[in-house]
């Protein structure tokens, strides 16, 4: 199957700093990628849809100025958590959709665990 990678796998940072997480589709091009957040013992929550070459679409309640998304190429999307605080500590997961058809399956990255001290 298609492979999606994330970097870093885990990061610990101080409160107030910014953290960038990369999501890459390794063996396919992805015009659309998605970012999710998962708190302990909870399900995945969709944060935003990232389209190559255009602005991301954020879900209701997600602060676009805090969670900056850039999708500059067909294989890379980045999520930057700006001025991170302890409540931003979570498991961040990206996915990439195969092809351009909206209902094609999505392939997920392994996730990035962010801990903000």
Partner 1 sequence: DAKTTQPTSMDCAEGRAANLPCNHSTISGNEYVYWYRQIHSQGPQYIIHGLKNNETNEMASLIITEDRKSSTLILPHATLRDTAVYYCIVRGMGTDKLIFGTGTRLQVFP
- Name which of 1 and 14 has its Cβ closer to partner 1: 1
Of the candidates 24, 28, 27, the residue with the CA atom closest to the CA atom of residue 112:
24
Contacts with partner 1 in 8-67 (CB under 8 A)? 32, 34, 36, 43-46, 49
Contacts 24+ apart (CB under 8 A), 39-47: 39/90, 39/91, 44/93, 47/79
Binding region for partner 1 (CB under 8 A) out of 14-22, 67-75, 77-85, 101-109 = 101-109
- Name which of 14 and 53 has its Cβ closer to partner 1: 53
The one among 7, 20, 66, 113 contacting partner 1 by CB under 8 A? 113
Q: In sequence order, what are the residues at sequence separation of 6 or more whose Cβ sits closer than 8 angstroms to the Cβ of residue 20?
A: 78, 79, 80, 81
- Name which of 29 and 104 has its Cβ closer to partner 1: 104
How many chain residues touch partner 1 (CB under 8 A)?
26
Does residue 86 bind partner 1 (CB under 8 A)? Answer: no
Secondary structure (DSSP) of 35-102: EEEE-TTS--EEEEEEETTS--EEPTT--TTTEEEEEEETTEEEEEE-S--GGG-EEEEEEEESSS-T
Binding region for partner 1 (CB under 8 A) out of 60-68, 70-78, 81-89, 100-108 = 100-108
Binding region for partner 1 (CB under 8 A) out of 1-9, 61-69, 71-79, 80-88 = 1-9
């Amino acid at each position: 199957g298609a492979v999606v990678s994330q970097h870093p796998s885990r990061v610990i940072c101080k409160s107030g700093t910014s953290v960038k997480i990369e999501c890459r589709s390794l063996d396919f091009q992805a015009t659309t990628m998605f970012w999710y957040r998962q708190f302990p013992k909870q399900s995945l929550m969709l944060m935003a849809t990232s389209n190559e070459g255009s602005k991301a679409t954020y879900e209701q309640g997600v602060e676009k100025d805090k969670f900056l998304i850039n999708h500059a190429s067909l294989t890379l999307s980045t999520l930057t958590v700006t001025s991170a605080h302890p409540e931003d500590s979570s498991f961040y997961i990206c996915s990439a959709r195969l092809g351009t058809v909206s209902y094609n399956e999505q392939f997920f990255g392994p996730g990035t665990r962010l801990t903000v001290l």
